[in-house]
Amino acid sequence: MKRLAALAFLLVACSAQPRVSATANPSPATCRLPVIASSIGQASGPQTAGFLTLSGAVFKFSPATGAGGGTYYDKPLKIWVPSGPPALASDGRTYAYVDGVQGSSRVHVVDVATRRDTVLVDGGAWSLVGLAPHGVYVMKIEFLPESPAFGVLVLGHGLWMVPLAGGAPEQLTSDNRGWTLGPGAAWGGGSTANIAGGPNDIIRFDLQTRQSTVWFGRDTRAFVLGTDDRGTPLIMTEGADEELWMVPTPDTRVEIWSGPTNGPRPWAPLAFDGGTIWLSSANVTRTWMIFRYTGTGLEVMASFSDQPVYVAGPCA
């Protein structure tokens, strides 16, 4: 990982947006990276969509015009939308979402160009896993009684598929794993019933054959942060240290980062851009980073101390 350069740049948006300062390790290649500038300690606080231009030794933030409440830049259609992958189709034309209350929810698909919102199914409750060309994948969930220590917990009841052509939801698994979607496969992580977050393997569920394969296991807690356009998962593990892996096959893995659990680390949201991966960060201190991986090591491209800044799409 390259060290951060000492030079600091100011990211200037508009008068209503808080000033964001960044320490930069600039890239020689030009990239207009979609980002979201968020608020410290406010999950529902103001968010500003914009673009971070990385060119030579220059960092410049430009607020997006007409972004509305969008949180992800739909590159094919050149518009900001409420949901990114895996809820956003690869062609950028549709996205899925779930709304509702604990006892009942609805699975929607939205046409980005026309803004037509179609409810595919109601009932449940459901939690969105992702959108595929043939259907919306969801987890059926149960809201457990509120506890003083953990609040309201959600228990998964398997992976389900809601056909885009219409019809009843189809149950695919009977587990309580957490699931996410990638090209051609769903990825099952740890059990939603395990509050402590003990060790878990990563399961690949093939959407066509409907066969499950143990893809990754290291006797540690593991998460799939996302998959690239070829379906290769990016997996974070938590142990004595944290480690980030690309895992093309069950027998092939490449470690691209490791670091202490109390330090800054790459995390979602992320974006895949051909052979390049852009990652946001998680940290216990007031420092937020944007990382880039191009196959030759993870680089810190920018570091922010005024407010969180997250990746919101591939280079525009």
Instruction: Kindly write down the DSSP assignment for every residue of 167-235, as one continuous string.
Output: ---EE-----EEEEEETTEEEEEEETT-TT-----EEEEETTT--EEEEE--SSEEEEEEE-TT--EEE
Calpha distance 214→201 (Å, rounded): 7
- Six-digit token string for 249: 């096959």
Query: How high is the pLDDT of residue 162?
Result: 97
pTM: 0.88
Q: Over its length of 316 residues, how does the chain's per-residue pLDDT go in tens digits?
A: 333 332 233 232 332 343 444 445 545 457 899 999 987 765 556 789 999 986 555 568 889 988 988 999 999 999 999 999 999 999 999 999 999 877 789 999 999 999 999 999 998 899 999 999 999 999 999 988 887 777 888 899 999 999 999 899 999 999 999 999 999 999 999 999 887 778 999 999 999 999 999 999 988 999 999 999 899 999 999 988 999 999 999 999 999 999 988 888 999 999 998 889 999 998 878 889 999 999 888 999 888 888 889 999 999 8
Peptide bond into 86 cis (omega under 30): yes
Calpha distance 194→153 (Å, rounded): 11
Q: Could you tell me if 182 and 88 are in contact, meaning their C-beta atoms sit under 8 angstroms apart?
A: no
Calpha distance 133→156 (Å, rounded): 24
Query: How high is the pLDDT of residue 58?
Result: 59
Calpha distance 292→290 (Å, rounded): 7
| Domains contained in the chain, CATH given | 8-311 (2.120.10)
Measured CA to CA in angstroms, residue 36 lies from 7, 29, 50, 219 at distances of: 22, 21, 6, 35
Query: How high is the pLDDT of residue 314?
Result: 95
Calpha distance 1→257 (Å, rounded): 8
Q: Could you tell me if 241 and 261 are in contact, meaning their C-beta atoms sit under 8 angstroms apart?
A: yes
- Six-digit token string for 89: 């189709």
Q: What are phi and psi of 80, to 5 degrees?
A: -85, 135
Measured CA to CA in angstroms, residue 11 lies from 14, 20, 53, 187, 307 at distances of: 10, 5, 10, 37, 11
